[in-house]
A and B are shown apart, each in its own frame.
Chain A
Amino acid sequence: MYEIGGRRLGVRWSQPGLANSLARLARAYAGPGDAPPNLSVVVGGSRGRAKDKHHLYVQGRHLSATADDGRLLRSVIRAASALVATPTTEQLRLDALPVVAPDGSVVIVDHGLDHELRAIQRRIEQRGYRVLDCAAVALDPSAGQVVLPDARAAFDLDAQAFTERFPTGAADDDLGALQAPIAGIVYACHQAPASRAAEVAFLGALARTQQGTLRTEDVARFPELTDRTPAVPYVFTDPPALIDLVTARR
């Protein structure tokens, strides 16, 4: 169990090894407890030289899979810090993944496209993009910026020891705070929106709360957001190449 920003967060592990590694490096670790399992980690096993992937679930939903121990722990730290972050009144919390482009701008990708995004993740990483494993992403529509908290600070992480034990790869999340312009939003839909109102209706679904409800004032912020930021539909009935949508120059 971790205590982050005054909130108790349960992380359930299928095996203790990596759980103990993180607990030793994060001062936010509050010992074993009965907090609800907000995050669940299924640690991959080894078969000779082959290694199964670890899987991270956030509130019952699959978020990421990797065979790399360091990358798994980075995902846990980033996902948990984003989960407990409370957006300010200026911010909008979206059910989406931030993808950081080589120029530092961020493409927001609908969580409904997780499967498609993970299928191209390795290829876009080769082009210098980084997928940050956030359960949700906060953004400021009026500024057109993504705002992510410093995940290292949230976990009170011994950053030096962590990096020595788990070196940061080129495509890895450095876990730092991020305030960056939004280059675009890619959202899932069943058919191409026929109007700007339809686009707002589709995008509005990204602002669902964790309880599955929607606030009108949140949906009302999308016209302002899309005035400054291009929103691109990914139509399931006629799917384009997601890699082109994510890496398009805007």
Chain B
Amino acid sequence: MSEYSVVGKPLPRVDGLKKLSGQAKFTVDIVLPDMLYAKILRSPHPHARILSIDTSQAEALLGVAAVITGKDTQGIRYGFVDTPSFPAEERPMAEEKVRFIGESVVAVAAVDPDTAEDALDLIEVEYDPLPAVFDPEESMKDGAPQIHGEITRTTSCAWEDWGVARKSHSYTPINNVAGKVEFSYGDLNKGFAEADYIREDRFKSPATAHMAMEPHTIVASYDPLSGKLDVWLNHMAYEIKRYWLAKTLNMPNEKIRVHQTYVGGAFGGKAVIFDFEVIAAFLSRKLGRPVKLELTREEVFSTCRNSIRFDTTLKTGVKKDGTIIAQHAKVIVDAGAYKGSAAVAMYLSHAFNDSCFDRHNVLHEGVAAYTNKNFGFAKRGHGSPQMRFAFDSQIDMICEHLGLDPVEFMLKNCRKKGEVLPNGDRLDSYGLPKCIQGVADAIGWKEKRGKQKDKNRGMGIGVNGMFSGSGYWPFACSAIVRLNHNGTVTLMEGDVEFGQGPDTAYSQIVAETLGLPLEDVTLVAGDSELCPLNYSNFLSGGLFVGGGACYYAALDLRNKLLKAGSEFFKTAPEDLDMKNRAVFIKAKPQKSVPFGDLLRINIQKHLGDAMIGVGYKKAVPEIEFYPSLSKGTGRFTDAYSYAAAAAEVEVDRETGRVKVLKLAMADDCGNRINPAAVEGQMASQAVMGMGDALLEEVIDEHGRVINPTLVDYEIPRAFDVPEIILVDGCDWEPKGPYGGKEAGEVARAAVIPAIANAIHDAVGVRVFRVPITPERLLTALKNQGK
């Protein structure tokens, strides 16, 4: 039983009434007086020089307010990775040439969307098509078309602005290499020499869409009188969007306000700044009027960030008893036209993997190649869904060869609680063994694994580890808790609610700390002007870092109330506690003083001290900045979360269709602040992972996305969903607020190999590429003689 009264309870979400009544405002719902609507003309070529653009007819169309091209935004650069050695190369609109189908070429602002659309038809662009390349290995060969020339920066880069002392320098990618990582520890050759069994396998993961239900949208409103830009947009952290709007528009940060809206899903896909956001803000400033730019579903699929395409080769050496002794991972990322977060994903595919199992001797090499396609970013797990599909599938194969049980194999190779990882991170909490055992028990592993082949049924398991925030600007989060006259409080914290539940969880943390019921906490969140310095919600640092800041802010106010109470009762603060908006004497609970009275008395006694709690939390305390992506050194996170998934499937040998019968999901999020919310996250990832394993792929042919609609890009529907069993695998995290840590993105990766392995258990074939479509499975059944 929990000793808490608010934390650990499945309380109704604080955003519930608004969302259930249709009152919740999303960016798509924002309409401002005198607002214009913008549309973008996009490249039909994967690679071409722009010879000329004629916008005269479009400009002459009644209702068109402005037409802009790459000439207007010449030289503006941005990107998730903008370091001194690798400056950003993304741009709001193509300049001399286009590099993928869908790249922005011309933008129009008009009185309504139809007029803007009509104007696009009147624009003439003359292209000189260039040879294009779509395969990363082809792209890195000598003589392949070069996608980028010199990449240069005319301003400081982001990491200079954020405190890195080095100056950025220009560079020219050689053979289309967009990024490289290499790190190692131990002695790989020695490890392989000690191995009794070595195998090498190659796996592929495609680009998949985040498919957030709200299409990416921005409303930008520039006021020429005050020089201020107000924006409403789909985001996962206002700090990074505001930073990049300020940087790209060359405006002071404080002249930009990101307003609170609810965000209709994100899953990593809305964190970075986008071309269309810079375009809308640019148009609004040019015109001095509000501009709305809402992307179509097709634009989201084919021009916004999807997950990153991985080609993973794993060579793993194990001893007879199942001890992993060496691993050599080679990752090729098909980056697309711009580098996006390719280097980060290649790094994370190692770092997350390293938190799960002890592999003793490791070499991890990654290379990302530019191609003439749309480019990628983080999607729920950032690099680990791709790696877990590869590694946990390979574990299954190793176990088959050695006659071992995958559950026992995994438990044997787990790291140990309290262990310090090669990069210096310490596992103060480590629930992975509990998760593995939990899902195995829940699904009936011992009884059923390998024993239902006659029914074409099988079982498989997968795992994952995930950080709880990492070293990324602004490196820390802060929160304010204000005491109100009636003893209620107002929490001010910047995280944005996109479904993951911070509004409720943070309110619970504050209520618990102050002995208040949940409804006594009023929340001000997600507004860059009303909230203090914010970290982000796209690095899985929400609960651990943002929630931690809220906890410390509430604790600060609690200590102030106890101090005021001790003066009032003339007793030590340790003798006091608080409940129901009052401080009371523990030994004599009937002796209490309301918070409101303490506030009044404190103001009278202490020169107007109004009792405000302030808290902050640094994402990774021991490091000044961030770990080296290229070398893999340096602290990375202060707490890892874990998950395991076990799947039971049935395969139809005639059609190649896979029916998922059951999914058991275990999470180690430290402690469930709101169990209903955590279970929601787990069910969510179970189903999303099912889509990854069986259905989802953004398919392109010669650089053109051929399934950019929900008719052609299938995601799981209500009827596809199997029985989902949720298991608590929590291991209390001492540095987390009430023991809590990340819960939102660890589990998706575990589901993918669990299903792939279950298919193998059912019919004895291995498909090395997700999604495992009926076509691929039938081919595998045929080729592997099953």
- A and B part of one assembly: no
- Interface residue ranges, A against B (CB under 8 Å): none
- Interface residue ranges, B against A (CB under 8 Å): none
